[in-house]
Amino acid sequence: MKHVYLDHSATTKMSSSVIKAMIDSFNFGANPSSLHKDGQAARRLIEKARKDVSDLINAEADEIIFTSGATESNNTVIGIAETLINQSNNELNLVVSSIEHPSVLEPAKKLRKSGITVHYIPVDRNCRIDMAALKQVLDEKKTALVSVMAANNETGTIQEIEEITRLAHASGALMHADIVQAAGKIPLDIKKLGADYASLSAHKINGPKGIGALYVRKNAPFYPFMLGGHQENGLRATTYNTQGIIGFGQASKDAANNIEEYKANIEPLKNCLRDWITLNIPAVSVNGDQTNNLPNVLNVSFAGAEGESILLALDNNGIEVSTGSACASGDTKPSHVLMAMKADPELAHGSVRFSFGLENTMEDVECVMRFLPKIVKELRSISTVEVNGE
């Protein structure tokens, strides 16, 4: 049975160059915070990796703080907003989009329960931020921080981060962009985008798991999320994850060097699968803005067929996909992203995300289409929902 992996938005497999860089780094076993020669040799490798990560988004190396992943990075930024709001005696508020990753939405929910005002900005049916609603909130000039992801992890829709940042700054607010899904997939210039903070994760770009980064613009307010050590210039305590950081650096370097090739190789596969599905399977809905979209993400809803059932049936045939965010796996509720897009709850339950990566080929697309139409038809035959065209 051919194995087809189409869940790269959840995680990617480490590339051979990343694995080699990490294996080679095992010789550097000393603590990078130590002053002796071995410690400083390890520290130099970390600083090289920091430069490679910063180059991926056109930042300065000293604007990159290594974290355990984007979840920590996002929580850190929401924590900064909480401190600023508390300092204002709750006169300021927090603004997040309704389609953010749970690592933004959950800490925002916690702040709301504590009495802090949190505004959730809606999106349209294409998963694009409602700019009029955002402007209305920002016009009050009482916002401490705006947090909007650069590209949605479920639909792939790309947001107007540069314009959103301009509006945030004009109102006196700081701007945070979760760029986890966008980094390495589309060119990103953080200086042009103008964001004050940005979250990254290594395992989305063929790097190791358990390592991420937070971009912090020079002179932007910062309050450490982790205390108890002098690492990262006192901004984030804990012993350096030397091998993880080195792997992240290599993955960032590879992604920066191959970003145009990535789009040229992967986007045709995604578009081909989208066209084949819409032509061969009736009653389907492609979710997200198909003009402003990541080259590798395709989200489709199948009326009358549950997404989880489609996933399991595909898995039985060697094809691995997702029904949405891997962080929401096991949640029986419809995708909060699709619901924010005003999708029908029944249709939202029938959504499947196909996300492509470097190793995928046209043969993988053909394999999906060999099984998918039959799977959907069989599921619809036992469904209580009537589907036109079946």
Residues in the chain: 390
Q: What is the CB neighbour count within 10 angstroms for residue 125?
A: 12
Q: What is the per-residue pLDDT across 211-255, written as a single tens digit (0 to 9) for each?
A: 999 999 999 999 999 889 899 989 999 999 999 999 999 999 999
Percent of the chain with pLDDT over 90: 90
pLDDT-derived band at 334 (thresholds 50, 70, 90) equals confident
pLDDT-derived band at 305 (thresholds 50, 70, 90) equals very high
In a domain, 62, yes or no: yes
Percent of the chain with pLDDT over 70: 96
**Do residues 249 and 53 touch, judged by C-beta distance below 8 A?**
yes
* Domain shared by 35 and 166, yes or no: yes
Q: What is the per-residue pLDDT across 343-352, written as a single tens digit (0 to 9) for each?
A: 888 889 999 9
DSSP 184: T
Q: What is the per-residue pLDDT across 251-278, written as a single tens digit (0 to 9) for each?
A: 999 999 999 999 999 999 999 999 999 9
pLDDT-derived band at 389 (thresholds 50, 70, 90) equals low
* Domain shared by 55 and 164, yes or no: yes
Which are the catalytic amino acids? Answer: 327
SS3 331: coil
* Domain shared by 135 and 266, yes or no: no
* Domain shared by 184 and 240, yes or no: yes
pLDDT of residue 78: 98
* Domain shared by 289 and 312, yes or no: yes
Provide the CATH number for the domain around residue 364: 3.90.1150.10
Q: What is the per-residue pLDDT across 95-134, written as a single tens digit (0 to 9) for each?
A: 999 999 999 999 999 999 999 999 999 999 999 999 999 9
* Domain shared by 265 and 253, yes or no: no
Provide the CATH number for the domain around residue 82: 3.40.640.10
Q: What is the per-residue pLDDT across 14-49, written as a single tens digit (0 to 9) for each?
A: 999 999 999 999 888 899 999 999 999 999 999 999
User: Both tokens of residue 315?
Assistant: 């898995």
Give the mean pLDDT of the chain: 95
pLDDT-derived band at 333 (thresholds 50, 70, 90) equals confident
* Domain shared by 139 and 232, yes or no: yes
In a domain, 101, yes or no: yes
In a domain, 253, yes or no: yes
* Domain shared by 369 and 247, yes or no: no
For residue 304, the number of C-alpha atoms closer than 13 Å in the C-beta half-sphere is 21
Lowest-confidence segment of 65-69, 205-209, 281-285, 328-332 by average pLDDT:
328-332
In a domain, 323, yes or no: yes
* Domain shared by 229 and 340, yes or no: no
Measured CA to CA, the distance from residue 46 to residue 51 in angstroms comes to 9
| Contact partners, residue 12, CB within 8 Å, separation at least 6 | 203, 204, 205, 206, 207, 357, 358
| Contact partners, residue 163, CB within 8 Å, separation at least 6 | 131
Mean pLDDT, residues 364-377 taken together: 97
- CA 13-17-19 angle, 5° bins: 60
Task: With CA atoms as reference, report the closest residue to 99 among 134, 52, 143.
Answer: 134
Exposed, middle or buried, 2 (CB in 10 Å: 0-12/13-18/19+)? Answer: exposed
Which domain, by its residues, includes 118? 16-257
Strands of the 297-302 sheet, one edge to the other: 284-287, 297-302, 351-355
pLDDT-derived band at 388 (thresholds 50, 70, 90) equals confident
In a domain, 387, yes or no: no
Q: What is the per-residue pLDDT across 294-303, written as a single tens digit (0 to 9) for each?
A: 999 999 999 9
**325 pLDDT exceeds 60?**
no
Which of the pair, 383 or 214, is modelled with greater confidence?
Answer: 214
What's the total number of domains in the chain? 2
**Do residues 217 and 60 touch, judged by C-beta distance below 8 A?**
no
